[in-house]
Amino acid sequence: MKRFVLLLAGTVIGVLAGAWYGWSVSPVTYNEISPDQLRAEYQADYVLMVAETYAADHDLGEAAVRLSRLGQADLTGLVRRIADAYQAAGFPEQDCTRLYDLARDLERFSTLPTAAR
């Protein structure tokens, strides 16, 4: 009986210590990730960089390819959501304008008849 109690006590203490170590001391780190696994703020900045680049080169195809790395099907919605969030957070007007411009052009393109693309 005493053996069982000792084994159980050791196991419980060990589980608690192991979980504490695995969660707090040395939590899992992620390497070799893809852009869709970036933290939300970096994904938003990624979209802003795409919008900044698009404002200069007007290459909608390249912007769409870059945005697709974030793994979202609705690119227009993604850009518009971030534009709204930036505007609500008081980001510079120029950034918001670029994001809205990109969202508008993506939407315009997505509504073109297939043959016109």
Partner 1 sequence: MRKHLEWIWLPVGLILGLALGVGYAWVLQPADFRGAEPASLQPVYRGEYILLIATAYQANGNLDRARTRLELFPELDPAVLSSLAQQVVAARGSEDAARGLARLSVALAEQTPMPSFAFTVTSGIPPTARATPTENPTLALTVPPMPTATLKPTQFSTATTLPGYVLVSREQVCNPLITQPLVQVLVRTPGGKGVAGVVIRILWEGGGSTFVTGMKPELSPGYADYGIEPGKAYQITIGDGLTVVRDVSVPTCPGATAVAGGGTSAAFAGSWRLVFEMR
Chain residues that interact with partner 1, rule: CB under 8 A: 2-4, 6-24, 27-35, 37-40, 42-43, 45-46, 48-50, 52-53, 55-62, 64-66, 69, 105, 109, 112, 116-117
Collapsing DSSP to helix, strand or coil, 77 comes out as helix
By C-beta, is 45 or 93 nearer to partner 1?
45
What does the alpha-carbon distance between residue 60 and residue 112 come to, in Å, rounded to a whole number? 13
By C-beta, is 39 or 88 nearer to partner 1?
39
Cβ at position 1, least distance to partner 1 in Å? 10
Cβ at position 73, least distance to partner 1 in Å? 15
Instruction: Classify the phi-psi angles of 72: left when phi > 0, otherwise alpha if psi is within -120 to 50, otherwise beta.
Output: beta
Chain position carrying tokens 């290459």? 59
Contacts of 68 (CB under 8 A, 6+ apart): 75
Cβ at position 88, least distance to partner 1 in Å? 20
Cβ at position 15, least distance to partner 1 in Å? 4
What does the alpha-carbon distance between residue 54 and residue 81 come to, in Å, rounded to a whole number? 18
